[in-house]
Amino acid sequence: MGRILVITLSNLGDVVMTTPVFEALRVAYPASVIDVLADKRSSGILSGAPYLGRVFHREKKGGLVKTIRLIAELRKTYYDVIVDLRTNLIPLVLRANKNIFKSKRVSTAQHSVEEHYEGILTLDGVTSTPPHCRLYVEDNAKEKARCLIKSLAGKKLLAIGPGANWPGKIWPAERFEEVVIDLETHFDGVIQLGSEGEGIVFSGEVNMPHLDLTGKTNLSTLKAVIKSCHLFIGNDSGIGHVAAALGRPSLTVFGIGNPNRYRPWGNRSIAVAEPSKDLRQLKSSRVSKAAKQLLEECL
């Protein structure tokens, strides 16, 4: 059995957008196991993947000693291929039959998925078009998710992600609430997802049952909860990419970001961008209309 090493990126959304690389390598090298070098905070999103071998973590602030130990551990394996999507040059000191480095050429018109995928096009058996992003849900995570959302069991669920890693990417909480109210005839319950402190407090105008799970899921249970939902609406953050990679209809609102490069990848995902780049100007009616259209298209 052969072995491949993929050095992936740090942020959650970026890791998800590299999964077409993993899927293509799985097809091109069906007898191989794929090891991963990633950041500890985001590597868990790959758990459950049938191709996944060992997961190594690189600490940004680990210092020289930890880096040397990491390299020594990686050098114990001779890899058929090393794919470096992070351009950190670690493969130059490892043992491999072939090294592939991510292109440093970046076009704002090129989606990030296409950029990551470009490097492996030189490998035999790799198709020219990137496949969909894909994540896998573990059985134990499904059980944990069922416990978390048991009060909404059997309901048609809307998931929202009201947080982001930068204030300029956060759509006002009252706009999210307006969308939830407008979509009440389409859903039986709403779940909030994200990091601790990102949840919003609904007013008494929201009539359907709601559950705030912000800060209450790890990456494995996050996937399982999203898989149980029928639509995800959120800011430009990693959760939208997770939803798309799980095959869930996903709508992302963009202000300052570039949807041409960073929208969730897939034919069940859409972006609603505010031309002024100021998310405070984005009306909830635009998002509600787009969400309803997406639901119709995905039926």
Confidence tier at 64 by pLDDT (50, 70, 90): confident
Q: Could you give the CA distance from residue 292 to residue 288 in angstroms, rounded to a whole number?
A: 6
Cα separation, 235 vs 200, whole angstroms: 13
Return the structure tokens found at 135. Answer: 């994540």
Task: Give the pLDDT band (50/70/90) at residue 120.
Answer: very high
pLDDT band for 47, please (50, 70, 90 cuts): very high
CB atoms closer than 10 angstroms to residue 213: 18
Domain 3-122, CATH number (from 3.30.365.10, 3.40.50.2000, 1.10.1060.10, 3.40.630.10): 3.40.50.2000
Task: Please give the CATH topology (third level) of the domain spanning 143-298.
Answer: Rossmann fold (3.40.50)
* Domain locations along the chain: 3-122, 143-298
| 143-298 and 3-122 share a CATH fold | yes
And the tokens for 151?
Answer: 């009060």
Q: Which pTM value belongs to this model?
A: 0.95
pLDDT of residue 282: 98
Q: Which residues contact 70 (CB under 8 A, 6 or more apart)?
A: 37, 56, 58, 62
pLDDT at 106 over 70: no
C-alpha 76/C-alpha 167 separation (Å) is 44
